[in-house]
Chains A and B, each alone.
Chain A
Amino acid sequence: MSEPSHAAGAVTGHTVHHDAGPDHGHEEHIPDSTFIKVFGALLVFTAISFAANQVFGAKNPIVNFIIIGLVACCKAFLVMYFFMHLKIDWRKVFVFLIPICILAPMVIIVLWPDMVLAWRLASPDSAP
């Protein structure tokens, strides 16, 4: 892996390279202790989803689904907010992420009537 100077994003002497960008060298910094805490929290959340499945898995699938779904969202949030530096970079990349946050659920929602509701209504059990 070579280090091409024109793409290095480094400020050498008086030359400013194109990729240096304004986020070169974070002004804000997330300390290592935070990463350790986040890692611990991720393990705890994984244990919670595992335990919820043991307790509610067979008895109440809907409660199970809600708990496990929420836990997965919390884990994804922690990874993105701290590990992916969105805590610092959110204001720089929110323009890509907000449309995706709308589009991604829409993909599922637009499929819902034909792929979920139609089959449920067509089920012999739901017939009057």
Chain B
Amino acid sequence: MTTAVADETKYIQRGIPVSNGKLAMWLFLVTEIMFFTGLIGTYIVLRLGTPEGAWPKPSDVHLSEALGAINTFVLIFSSFTVVMAHSAIARGDSKKCLTYIAITFACGVIFMGIKAYEYSAKFAHGIMPGHIADNLIDPSLRQIDVSHPQYEHLQAEEYTRFIKEAGRHPYDPATAQWFKAQVRQKLTPIAQPVLEKIAAAEAQAKQQQKTLTTEERQVLVQQIRDEARSSEQQKALDCYEVVAAIQGTGRDRPASALEIGVMSNKLNEKYHDLHLPAFIPYGNLWASCYFAMTGFHAAHVMGGLVVFAIILIHGLRGRLVKNAWNVSMLELTGLYWHFVDVVWIFLFPLLYLV
């Protein structure tokens, strides 16, 4: 009889020397590694498959390195607090464990808050898959004589980068036309006061059997600029210049979609309420990758937050005491949370730095 009791208490080891819970968690994490490898791997090959230097830089897509770094710190710190919570419960220090879990939960909320702010900035700038005009670079731009006074501006840094890409990047004349029409439609009402003044000057010139020359028009615009006092008037002038470029006023031909793209990007930077369509080569590809990777990562953070909320309630009810179940539960939750941290460790440099 004594022998039988002894046999019952003896653990019979079969297979891998690991508990069922930990085995299940590691198997789950292995599938998760493959899931994120698919996303990150796709991003890497798409990015390296584009011509050198053509992939959007973090500044092009309004990504703040500082915010990314803060989120990295927050997630690393939360990983540290989880491991300390596990250590505390293993020692039987329930109060400390609960404090660490509360800090971890707070870190997760901060991470999600920063991510929400980042997403809202992307939506405000129209940086969403399928919403970015990324194919405006007309290959014929390479043939343009940039030393000609009219195209001198194309020697500027913001243009040379794009002109270098001309011919290496998909160009769609229909999108280019759509883009120019969209920008013109949005800017014309704002530029109306300036347009009206110029129309009045043109009517006056017509009465005198004359037409307004390019130089006279430039003098008039400069005069309006000098008289502009309010920010609204300044804004109307800035918008007018883009509308005039689209119309081809004072030019041999209307400005190319690339020029309008660069101009509208500058306007978007200056006036955050304009929400003109964004011009970013490879922007749609970038946005698809960005939202897929960070979106699924954020969903994992949310999942972790739900678990931490349950643990917090559990602890506030006084049930977070040292026992094998609680120690094991915190260890497994920690494993999941550390994995979420490891994914971010790769996402942060890939998206925000290199």
C-alpha spacing A80/B340, complex, angstroms: 11
B interface residue count range (under 10 / 10 to 19 / 20 to 34 / 35 or more): 35 or more
How many chain A residues touch B (CB < 8 A): the figure is 65
**Chain A, range 57-82, C-beta contacts under 8 Å to B:** 57, 61, 64-65, 68-69, 71-72, 75-76, 79-80, 82
Chain B CB count within 10 A is highest, among A16, A53, A83, A112, for A83
Contact of A35 with B342 in the complex, beta carbons under 8 Å:
no
A40 to chain B, nearest CB (A): 10
A125 at the interface (CB under 8 A from B): yes
A42–B338 alpha-carbon span in the complex (Å): 13
Partner of A21, one of B9, B22, B79, B311: B22
Interface residue? B303 (CB, 8 A): no
The verdict on A19 contacting B20 (CB below 8 Å), with A8-B323, A80-B338, A104-B34 known, is yes
Contact status A107-B354, CB under 8 Å: no
Chain B interface main SS type: helix
CB-CB contacts below 8 Å: A25-62 with B:
25, 32, 35-36, 38-39, 42-43, 46, 49-50, 53, 57, 61
A19 touches B8 (CB 8 A): no
Check B271 for interface membership: any CB of A closer than 8 A.
no
Chain A contact residues: over half helix, strand or loop, or mixed? helix
Contact A116 B17 (CB under 8 A): no
Binding site for A on B (CB under 8 A): 5, 8-11, 13, 16-22, 26-27, 30, 33-34, 37-38, 41-42, 44-46, 48-51, 65, 69, 72-73, 76-77, 79-80, 82-84, 87, 167-168, 310-311, 313-314, 319, 323-326, 328-329, 331, 334-335, 338-339, 341-342, 345-346, 348-349, 353-354
